[in-house]
Every structure is written in structure tokens, then in C-alpha cells.
A and B are shown apart, each in its own frame.
Chain A
């Protein structure tokens, strides 16, 4: 079950939380920055993903704050979430390394 590749949005959300806690809007901004503005998460997608990640115990609520009369809920990675993200990153890195290794001789790059 756990070995299947992660969806990109999931990977980016977990990555956004890897450095520390973030609230929903913060995650959207972090994901945009990490992906070089390529991935702009929408609220519906974000909260469906957050709900699933909470159910799978990969993230959890860190704290809640009220800012300008609006609720801000901060999320953090669980230890299991950290492990899953590390495993996925290692898998992607191994694939990328293999691809570049095979491409480089073909492109005349050593």
C-alpha cells in the first residue's frame, strides 16, 4: 500500500510542512513556491488532501489561532508523515539519477 507513488499535490503539501508548521493559506503559498509557481492548489483540493492525510496519520493539527476573526489551523508532519516523505523523495531521486545517468552519455555530457 505504502509503496505506491505519491500524488504530486500530496508530495508538495508534505514538503511544505517538512520545515515546520503551516496553516492552509501558508501551505498554498509554500506549494506554489516549491513548485516554481507551477502548482497553485485550490482550497477544495487542499482540504480534501489535508483530510486524507489526517486520516492516514501523515499530518496532524498543531494548533489553532484566531486572526482577524478568522480561524487559522496549523498543521505539522507526524513522524510517519516524515518517513513517508523521505521515502518518496529517495524514490524520486533514485529515478531521476538513473534517468540522468542514462541521458548524459547520449547528450555527450559526462
Chain B
């Protein structure tokens, strides 16, 4: 191992390395700075005065990975977070489907109601359908924001975020069940398929955050952090 303390050239090098290590998150630095420095100085070339381009690129890449939380996050949580972002995309898709097919949905319900020859009941049902469609469109941005918020907070490892994600999935499951019971698929097949895909994404994300590999991450990041 090279002598790491005595020459002025080495102290310049050490300063250079420390500047690069400063790009890492503080928690990581606190735990690892001295150790990385030991390794960097040990692997430095004879007479090297400053970090090489390759070393700088390697350290900066590591710092970016750490800052993005790509390193300490278990793969199960990483996948769950990606799925949650995908859930937000699917919620946008469902909103677009609902807006585009609202006319078809109203027409389908109206046709079905025509068989009963009861204009008063038809008007009542149509009123209900209009309210349901309006609610879908008003609530969609909230749902999209919730997906994004869940992705962000679960990625951070907050334990309450995991509980919230599971609870929200529970609510959405009840909503899906209600849609199935009300035979929504008959009138709004495209929207139901979209909502079904969104539900499956939620299910997969919940399964992933409940997996054994995810637990230590949430335990290590208490809600009080």
C-alpha cells in the first residue's frame, strides 16, 4: 500500500478525493468517507497529484446513485416504487378513457334503460351516471397525485407510507368490487379494463412492499426520521 500521509502531493490528492466524496449524501459520508479515502489513496498511482478523470467519473456516478436512493433501497421496494409511478400513468390513461368514452357510456346506459319504458327511472339513472362520470374526472387528479406521493414516500422508506399504500389499495379494491357488482363493465368496458390494470399494478406494488426483503428498509427508516 502506498504511504498516504507524508508527501505534499498526496495531500493535494487527498483534498481532491475529499471534494469528490463531498458529493455523496451526508449519511453515507459519515459512515464511509474515511474508508473510501483509504481505498482511493491505496489504489492511487505513484506520484499521482489529483484524482484521474476515470476516478472522478466513478465517484460522481456513485454519488448520483446514492442521491437518487438507488443503492440502499432493496430491489423489491425499487420495483414497487416504479410500479407506483406506472400506476400514476395508468390513472392518467383511465382518466383519458373516461373522458373519451363518456358519450358511449351514457348512450349504453340509456339504451339499456329504454327496455324498461320508465322515463322517470331512466332520468334518475342517467343523473347517477352523470354524477359518477363527473366524480371520476374530478377525483382522477387526486388519484394521480396519490400514486406519485406513494411512490415518493415509499421510496424514502417511511413506514407510514407503506401503511398508507396498503390502505389505499384496500379502498381501491372495494371500489373495484362495487364496479363489478354494479355491472359497470357492461357499459364502460374500456374504462373497466383500464381500472383493472391499475388495480393489478397496485396489487403487485403492495405485494412487493410486503415482501421479506422490503422490511429492513422500512424498519431502518422510522416515521420520525
CA distance A70 to B38 in the complex (A): 6
Q: Is B74 an interface residue (CB 8 A)?
A: yes
B54 within 8 A of A: yes
- Of B5, B36, B71, B211, the residue contacting A69 (CB under 8 A) is B5
Chain A residues positioned under 8 Å from B75 (CB to CB): 1, 56
Query: Hey, what's the 0/1 contact readout for B65-93 against A, CB within 8 Å counting as 1?
Result: 11000011111100100000000000000
Whether A24 is near chain B, meaning CB under 8 Å from some CB there, is: yes
CB-nearest residue of chain B relative to A50? B32
Q: How far is the CB of A103 from chain B (nearest CB, A)?
A: 33
B205 → chain A closest CB, angstroms: 14
A-B pairs, top 9 by smallest CB distance, nearest first, are A44-B62, A44-B58, A42-B58, A44-B59, A70-B38, A71-B34, A24-B39, A55-B72, A48-B62
Residue of A nearest to B55 (CB): A42
Question: Please, could you name 9 A-B residue pairs with CB atoms under 8 Å apart, sorted by A?
Answer: A24-B35, A24-B39, A43-B58, A44-B36, A45-B62, A47-B62, A55-B71, A70-B34, A70-B37
In the bound assembly, the distance between CA atoms of A68 and B5 in angstroms comes to 9
Q: How many residues of B contact A (CB 8 A)?
A: 37
Listed residue (B4, B40, B60) with the most chain A CB atoms within 10 angstroms of its CB = B40
Q: Does A63 contact B (CB under 8 A)?
A: no
A42→B74 CA distance, assembly (Å): 22
- Taken residue by residue from 58 to 69, chain A's Cβ proximity to chain B (1 for < 8 Å, 0 otherwise) reads as 000000000011
A24 pairs with B36, CB closer than 8 A:
yes
How many whole Å from A10's CB to the nearest CB in chain B? 12
Q: Contact size class for A? A: 20 to 34
CB-defined contacts of A73 to chain B, threshold 8 Å: 35
Q: Does B99 contact A (CB under 8 A)?
A: no
> Which secondary structure dominates chain B's binding surface?
helix
Chain A residues close to B by CB (< 8 Å): 1-2, 24-25, 28, 42-48, 51-52, 55-57, 68-73
Task: Name the one of A1, A28, A45, A55 contacting B58, with C-beta atoms under 8 angstroms.
Answer: A45
Distance, CA A51 to CA B38, complexed state (A): 17
Interface residue B135 (Cβ < 8 Å from any Cβ of A): no
Is B71 touching A48 in the complex (CB atoms < 8 A)?
Answer: yes
Q: Is the CB of A55 within 8 A of B74?
A: yes
Residues of B within 8 A of A55 (CB): 71-74, 216-217
CB distance from A62 to the nearest CB of B (A): 13
With both chains docked as a complex, state the minimum distance between the C-beta of A101 and any C-beta of chain B, in angstroms.
32
Residues of A within 8 A of B1 (CB): 25, 68
Least Cβ–Cβ distance between B92 and chain A, in angstroms:
28
Contact A71 B38 (CB under 8 A): yes
**Given the contacts A24-B36, A28-B39, A51 and B28 also touching, CB distance less than 8 Å:** yes
Residue of A with least CB distance to B75: A1
Q: How far apart are A91's CB and chain B's nearest CB, in angstroms?
A: 17
Known: A24-B35, A51-B28, A70-B4; 16 extra A-B contacts, CB below 8 A, are A1-B211, A25-B39, A42-B55, A42-B58, A43-B40, A43-B58, A44-B55, A44-B60, A44-B63, A45-B58, A51-B66, A52-B72, A55-B71, A68-B3, A70-B38, A73-B35
